[in-house]
A and B are shown apart, each in its own frame.
Chain A
Amino acid sequence: MLRFFRSDTPSQQSDEELLARYQAGGEARYLGQLYERYMPMVYGVCVKILRDPGKAEDAVMNIYEELTRKAKEHQVESFRGWLYVLARNHCLMEWRKNHRRPTDYHAPEDMVHYDAVEAAFEVELPAAADKSLEKCIGELPQQQRQSVVMFYFEEKTYKEIAELIAEEVGKVRSYIQNGRRNLKICLEKTSTKLKI
């Protein structure tokens, strides 16, 4: 009885349990449950490497196909780590397929990583008292300035900002990200010492 309940609520089970069930019976739903757990993350990795949500979508589908084949035969210790490597390699191969010319010397590993470091750059904005910071915020384009100030100093959410400036949430995300990058550039220029 207990077993019956458990098998019907596979989301409670650990990765390895689900995988073992899939390997034993070959039922797609176990592997499916497992894959769905990590699907957004797999998608994110694919977007990072392929730089295109549509291509990433296809890659996520293909990775699942690859998974159904490989999961049966491979003895996996950590499903999560294994899936990460599988997804990453799949997307890198896909990328290389489309960039085979030898002059394309910027492999995604280098290019994307640098981008992402900047994109994910975390600014711990110091107290607003700093003069150069004030100046730099003043120099931002209006929409970026508005968004950055509301997000970092007024602790508003993207949605609230979007409503206030009548823009889409995506635009707000973009303004804040670009504003942050510009701030960093500006601060580097004005005061070399300031650590952000």
Chain B
Amino acid sequence: MSRHTSDDARFLELLERWQTGAFNHADERELHALTESDDFRREAWEGFSALPETRHEAYLERLRERLRPRFGAKRIPFGMWMAAAAVLALVVAAVFFWPEPAEHDAQPIAQSTDVAPVPPDNTPAPTDASGSDRAATYSKANPTGPSSGPAAPRPRSEPTNGPGDIALQDDIAAATKDETESKPMESAPEVALDADAAKIVVAEESARPQPAAPPPAAAKKVQEQAAIMEKARTTGATPARKATDSAKPAATKPDSEPAGGWDNFQLYIRRNARLTEAARNNNISGNVRLQFTVGPDGKPANISVLQSLGFGCDEEAMRLVRLFQWAPAGGSATVEVPFVR
């Protein structure tokens, strides 16, 4: 027990310095050593370091303030705390509830234009240009909407973010769409498999007979392949390359698939691909395209960024892709990870 007490004290001291910034390489090393020797410390550190930009010290300070009255019930007159809490509650309630009716009509519009959150699972992701169009027409139909609310204190839904912003987003969406559509033309071995909104591109590394296969035929081929793979899985055989060999000779490397299938992967990506804070602050959205080979352990290796978005999104995409098991080993795949508002 005493072993923990001194280590914990040191850990907390280092953690405090990590927060204030008086923290160097030697401190980091010591901190890491302390986290490795104990699960409680390790998990606590993982929590802090997972959000490096958060001002944790502010939260901790507020927590101390919130907890203290409960601790020291003996010394501080209880009634005073109650009175203070009541006054505070009144003030908070007054601030929050007074402008409420005015806020009602302003809020939904602001949501649909600017802060439109991640789409629910069954709606297409907003990379789809038509989705943004809809948002644009909606906001145009209610041009006075955002400014009609006199007291809407939310900084995100400022009235200034009107149709202009949407137009910009449209441009971005259109640009990314153009790029993805033109890609198969210039690089023949890639086949766009437009599955719902999150487009996943399966790269065909093998040499094709004719280098410029038209996209519709190619897409059909992929569907055939998928059907064959499915059949192979149910019969327990290895992916039936032989069957496709007749149609498409010299298949050197097989394509790898995510464990649980593409649908599963897509769902996972849609649910987990979030814009980084930096990207959000810079009004960035779009796709990251990654290519990689699959190592013998089923983990992606040699990940390369075919289409970069920057602002930490590339790394985030890699991280997400790496979390998946891929099969078969030695294959390769290209994936597109959409980052949308």
Residue of B25, B67, B304 contacting most chain A CB atoms (<10 Å)? B25
A-B pairs with the 4 shortest C-beta distances?
Answer: A32-B71, A44-B44, A116-B46, A159-B21
B75 shortest CB reach to chain A, Å: 8
Partner pick for B44 among A41, A54, A115, A172, CB 8 A cutoff: A41
Provide the bound-state CA to CA distance between A86 and B199, in Å.
43
For B11, list chain A residues within 8 Å (CB). 41
Provide the bound-state CA to CA distance between A157 and B73, in Å.
40
Provide the main secondary structure of the chain A interface: helix
B105 shortest CB reach to chain A, Å: 27
Q: Which of A107-122 contact B (CB under 8 A)?
A: 111-116, 118-120, 122
Q: Is A20 at the interface (CB under 8 A from chain B)? A: no
Q: Is A75 at the interface (CB under 8 A from chain B)? A: no
| Given A41-B41, A48-B47, A84-B40: A61 in contact with B23 (beta carbons within 8 A) | no
B180 shortest CB reach to chain A, Å: 24
Asked whether A173 lies within 8 Å of B22 as measured between CB atoms, the reply is no
| Given A44-B47, A84-B40, A118-B319: A169 in contact with B21 (beta carbons within 8 A) | yes
For B75, list chain A residues within 8 Å (CB). 29
Interface size of B by CB at 8 A reads 69
Q: Which of A136-153 contact B (CB under 8 A)?
A: 141, 151-152
| Given A41-B40, A189-B303: A57 in contact with B49 (beta carbons within 8 A) | no
Asked whether B44 lies within 8 Å of A53 as measured between CB atoms, the reply is no
Asked whether B55 lies within 8 Å of A170 as measured between CB atoms, the reply is yes
Q: Is B267 at the interface (CB under 8 A from chain A)? A: yes
Asked whether B67 lies within 8 Å of A61 as measured between CB atoms, the reply is yes
Asked whether B302 lies within 8 Å of A16 as measured between CB atoms, the reply is no
Asked whether A170 lies within 8 Å of B50 as measured between CB atoms, the reply is no
Residue of B with least CB distance to A117: B46
Partner pick for A156 among B5, B24, B66, B310, CB 8 A cutoff: B24
Q: Is B92 at the interface (CB under 8 A from chain A)? A: no
**Would you give 17 A-B contacts (Cβ < 8 Å), ordered by A?**
A15-B1, A28-B71, A35-B67, A39-B60, A39-B63, A40-B12, A41-B40, A48-B44, A48-B50, A51-B50, A111-B323, A119-B46, A120-B46, A122-B29, A122-B32, A157-B22, A182-B315
Q: Which of A1-57 contact B (CB under 8 A)?
A: 14-16, 27-29, 31-33, 35-49, 51, 53-54, 56-57
Provide the bound-state CA to CA distance between A185 and B19, in Å.
26
Residue of B68, B70, B72 contacting most chain A CB atoms (<10 Å)? B70
| Given A40-B12, A56-B59, A120-B35: A169 in contact with B20 (beta carbons within 8 A) | yes
| Given A120-B32, A174-B52: A45 in contact with B24 (beta carbons within 8 A) | no
Other than the known A45-B47, A47-B56, A106-B268, what 10 A-B pairs have Cβ atoms closer than 8 Å?
Answer: A32-B67, A32-B72, A53-B56, A60-B63, A80-B1, A152-B25, A157-B22, A159-B23, A162-B21, A173-B18
For A80, list chain B residues within 8 Å (CB). 1, 4, 8, 40
Provide the bound-state CA to CA distance between A125 and B315, in Å.
20
Residue of B8, B15, B63, B67 contacting most chain A CB atoms (<10 Å)? B63
Provide the bound-state CA to CA distance between A185 and B51, in Å.
20
A16 shortest CB reach to chain B, Å: 7
Asked whether B71 lies within 8 Å of A33 as measured between CB atoms, the reply is yes
For B272, list chain A residues within 8 Å (CB). 106
Residue of B with least CB distance to A103: B267
A42 shortest CB reach to chain B, Å: 8
Partner pick for B63 among A43, A103, A116, CB 8 A cutoff: A43
Q: Is B26 at the interface (CB under 8 A from chain A)? A: yes
